[in-house]
Amino acid sequence: MAVEIDLTGKTALVCGASRGIGAQTAIAMAEAGAQVILVARSEDGLKGTLQKMPNSEKHQCLSLDITKTSEIAGSVKSAAANCEAPVSILLCNSGGPKAGPLSEADTDQLATGFQAHVLANQALLEAVLPGMKSLEYGRIITVLSTSVKIPIPNLGVSNVIRGAVANWAKTLSMELASSGITVNNVLPGYTETERLDVLVEAAAGRMGKTEEEIVALWKSKVPAGRFADPSETAAAITFLASPLAGYINGVNLPVDGGRTGSL
């Protein structure tokens, strides 16, 4: 097998594609030859990503709030009907839950997180699984957090929800492998996106430091000594989406510059 990421002929449903890691993944997958359906709420954001993709007329934007799970199946199916092939690549990715200690969270925050991540992922799965099975090829990839391995202080609700999604994915990886479908989780470390800006601002306020001090502190915790560019996370996701990664299944892959202190 040639060692080249080639997604020609494949349709990818990329969630969170209006900015950050999802946007870079939509671009990377298009560069690898995939036809991409870009999902997020912001139409302008999606159009901005589309403009950076090769063969932009080939791809389509789907403005959708994935917390409205009852709308997912219909919207995804009608977008996929205009594509050359059924969706065989699904990137489950959206915004992270609000920061704060779990002991100060209320039940609504946990329910909202579960709705936006576990239930949304399940609705996306329902929409694309028959097509993946018909192709005997599927790649389901979630974007989670290194908190799957080591809980992160002050991201209480996120820690709980990421763990639930990691278990969702692991369970599916065992159920679907015999259909040619793999399910893997990518765990970003500090990555230069709007999400990181929000977390830096919150930490600065909470710790009485400047944002520059927080950035320096966090970089000092990364063996690589820097934050990730979202295109680096996208490269890992695009590899996992490709035929090259066919025997990688049920893993949690940190893309964190070596920060996570566990095996």
Ligand X SMILES: NC(=O)c1ccc[n+]([C@@H]2O[C@H](COP(=O)([O-])OP(=O)(O)OC[C@H]3O[C@@H](n4cnc5c(N)ncnc54)[C@H](OP(=O)(O)O)[C@@H]3O)[C@@H](O)[C@H]2O)c1
Does 232 participate in binding ligand X (rule CB under 6 A)? no
Of 218 and 244, nearer to ligand X (C-beta) is: 218
Q: Are 191 and 230 in contact (CB under 8 A)?
A: yes
Pick out residues in 24-63 that bind ligand X (CB under 6 A): 40-42, 45
Least distance between ligand X and beta carbon 16 (Å):
3
Max intra-chain CA distance, the chain: 55
Of 135 and 237, nearer to ligand X (C-beta) is: 237
Of 136 and 197, nearer to ligand X (C-beta) is: 197
> Among the candidate windows 128-136, 192-200, 213-221, 241-249, which touches ligand X by CB under 6 A?
192-200
How many residues of this chain bind ligand X (CB under 6 A)? 29
Burial class of 105 by CB neighbour count within 10 A (0 to 12, 13 to 18, 19+): middle
Residue in 191, 249, 252, 260 binding ligand X, rule: CB under 6 A: 191
CA–CA separation, 73 and 196 (whole Å): 31
Does 21 participate in binding ligand X (rule CB under 6 A)? yes
Q: Strand 60-63's sheet: what is its strand order?
A: 60-63, 35-40, 11-15, 87-92, 138-143, 181-188, 252-255
Residue in 35, 75, 145, 242 binding ligand X, rule: CB under 6 A: 145
Q: Are 47 and 19 in contact (CB under 8 A)?
A: no
What amino acid is encoded at 1 in this protein? M
CA–CA separation, 209 and 79 (whole Å): 46
Does 113 participate in binding ligand X (rule CB under 6 A)? no
Residue numbers at the binding site for ligand X (CB under 6 A): 16-22, 40-42, 45, 64-67, 93-96, 116, 143, 145, 188, 190-191, 193-196
